[in-house]
Amino acid sequence: MKITLNDLKQISPYEWKIEQDFFSGMNVPVMVFSQESMLRENLNDRSLLQATHAACLPGVVNKVCVMPDMHQGYGFPIGGVAATSMDEGVIVPGAIGYDINCGVRLLSSQIPAQTIYPLIKMLVGEIDAACPSGVGKSGRFRLSHGELEDVCKNGVKWAARNGLLEKDEESFIEDRGNIRVENTNVISNRAFERGKPQLGSLGAGNHFIEIDIVERVYNPEIAQIFGLHEGLVVVQIHSGSRGFGHQICTDFVRLFNDQVDRYGFNLPDRELACAPVKSKLGQDYLSAMNAAANFAFVNRQLLAYSIREAFDSILEKQGITSSLSTVYDLAHNIGKIEQLKMGGKSQQVCVHRKGATRALGPGNCLLPERYTTTGQPVLIPGSMGTHSWVMAGSNTAEEKSLNSCCHGAGRVMSRSKARKTISGSTVVKELEAREITITAGSQRLIAEEAPQAYKDVNSVVNIIDTLDIARKVALLSPIAVIKG
Amino acid sequence: MIDFPDLIGFIEVDHTADIAIAVTGDSMESLFLQSILAMREIIGVNLNKRVASEKSLTLDAQSAESLLIALLNEILFFIEKDTWPECEKLTICQNRLSLQYHLFRCTTAGAHVKAVTYNQVEIIRHADMYSTMLVFDV
State ipTM.
0.90
pLDDT at residue A396 in the model: 97
The answer to whether residue B45 neighbours chain A at the CB level (below 8 Å) is no
Find chain A residues with C-beta within 8 A of B118's C-beta: 74-75, 94, 253, 257, 269-271, 273
0.90 cut: is pTM over it? yes
Structural domain includes residue B13: no
CB contact (8 A) between residue B73 and residue A73: no
Structural domain includes residue B5: no
Structural domain includes residue B49: yes
- A177 vs B14 pLDDT, higher one: A177
Q: What are the respective helix, strand and coil percentages of chain B, to the nearest 5? A: 25, 45, 30
pLDDT at residue A266 in the model: 86
Minimum CA–CA partner of A72 in chain B: B16
Q: Give the Cα separation of B101 and B86 in Å (integer).
A: 5
Cross-chain CB nearest to B117 (options A72, A271, A441): A271
Q: What is the mean pLDDT of residues A51-71?
A: 97
Structural domain includes residue B18: no
pLDDT at residue A249 in the model: 96
For the CA atoms of chain B, what is the radius of gyration? 14
Cross-chain CB nearest to A258 (options B66, B82, B138): B66
The answer to whether residue B114 neighbours chain A at the CB level (below 8 Å) is yes
Q: Give the Cα separation of B83 and A190 in Å (integer).
A: 16
Minimum CA–CA partner of B13 in chain A: A416
For the CA atoms of chain A, what is the radius of gyration? 21
Q: What is the mean pLDDT of residues A6-17?
A: 97
Structural domain includes residue B15: no
Find chain B residues with C-beta within 8 A of A416's C-beta: 12, 14-15, 19
CB contact (8 A) between residue B66 and residue A257: yes
CB contact (8 A) between residue B118 and residue A412: no
Test mutation, A270, A411, A413, A455, chain B, max B CBs within 10 A: A270
Q: What is the mean pLDDT of chain A?
A: 95
CB contact (8 A) between residue A411 and residue B79: no
Q: How confident is the model at residue B1 (pLDDT cuts 50, 70, 90)?
A: low
Find chain A residues with C-beta within 8 A of B134's C-beta: none
pLDDT at residue A318 in the model: 87
Cross-chain CB nearest to B118 (options A99, A257, A413): A257
**Three-class secondary structure of residue A301 per DSSP:** helix
pLDDT at residue A140 in the model: 83
Q: Give the Cα separation of A459 and A465 in Å (integer).
A: 10
CB contact (8 A) between residue A271 and residue B119: yes
Q: State yes or no: is A387 an active-site residue.
A: no
pLDDT at residue B14 in the model: 87
CA A336 → CA A78, A285, A312, distances in Å?
Answer: 17, 12, 36
CB contact (8 A) between residue B110 and residue A444: yes
Find chain A residues with C-beta within 8 A of B61's C-beta: 254, 258
The answer to whether residue B17 neighbours chain A at the CB level (below 8 Å) is yes
pLDDT at residue B2 in the model: 64
For the ranges A344-348, A394-398, B3-7, which has the lowest average pLDDT?
B3-7
The answer to whether residue B135 neighbours chain A at the CB level (below 8 Å) is yes
- Residue B77 to chain A, least CA–CA distance (Å): 9
Structural domain includes residue B22: no
**Three-class secondary structure of residue B137 per DSSP:** strand
Q: Give the Cα separation of A211 and A226 in Å (integer).
A: 17
CB contact (8 A) between residue B16 and residue A72: yes
CB contact (8 A) between residue A135 and residue B112: yes
Helix axes B64-80, A242-263, angle to 10 degrees: 170
The answer to whether residue B38 neighbours chain A at the CB level (below 8 Å) is no
Minimum CA–CA partner of A270 in chain B: B118
Structural domain includes residue B35: yes
pLDDT single digits (tens) B5-64: 777 899 999 888 899 999 999 999 999 999 999 999 999 999 999 888 889 999 999 999
Minimum CA–CA partner of A257 in chain B: B66
Catalytic residue among A246, A352, A387, A407: A407
Q: What is the mean pLDDT of residues A312-329?
A: 93
Give the residue numbers spanning the domain of B101.
29-132
pLDDT at residue B47 in the model: 94
Q: What is the mean pLDDT of residues A77-84?
A: 98
CB contact (8 A) between residue B114 and residue A99: yes
CB contact (8 A) between residue B118 and residue A270: yes
- In this structure, what are the phi and psi dihedrals at residue B123, rounded to the nearest 5 degrees? -80, 120
pLDDT at residue A268 in the model: 87
Structural domain includes residue B91: yes
- Residue B74 to chain A, least CA–CA distance (Å): 10
- Residue B132 to chain A, least CA–CA distance (Å): 13
- A466 vs B112 pLDDT, higher one: A466
Q: Does residue A70 carry a pLDDT above 70?
A: yes
Q: What is the mean pLDDT of residues A18-24?
A: 95
Q: Give the Cα separation of A412 and A422 in Å (integer).
A: 14
Number of domains in chain B: 1
**Three-class secondary structure of residue A171 per DSSP:** helix
CA B101 → CA A157, B57, B72, B81, B98, distances in Å?
Answer: 44, 8, 14, 16, 10
Q: Name A219's Cβ contacts closer than 8 Å, sequence gap at least 6.
A: A392, A471, A472, A473, A474
Q: Does residue B66 carry a pLDDT above 80?
A: yes
| CATH assignment of the domain containing B112 | 3.55.10.10
CA A336 to chain centre: 14
H-type helices in chain B, by residue range? 28-43, 64-80
pLDDT at residue B98 in the model: 97
Q: How confident is the model at residue A206 (pLDDT cuts 50, 70, 90)?
A: confident
CB contact (8 A) between residue A134 and residue B66: no
CA B73 → CA A59, A154, A244, A253, B117, distances in Å?
Answer: 31, 29, 13, 12, 9
pLDDT at residue B4 in the model: 75
Q: How confident is the model at residue A136 (pLDDT cuts 50, 70, 90)?
A: low
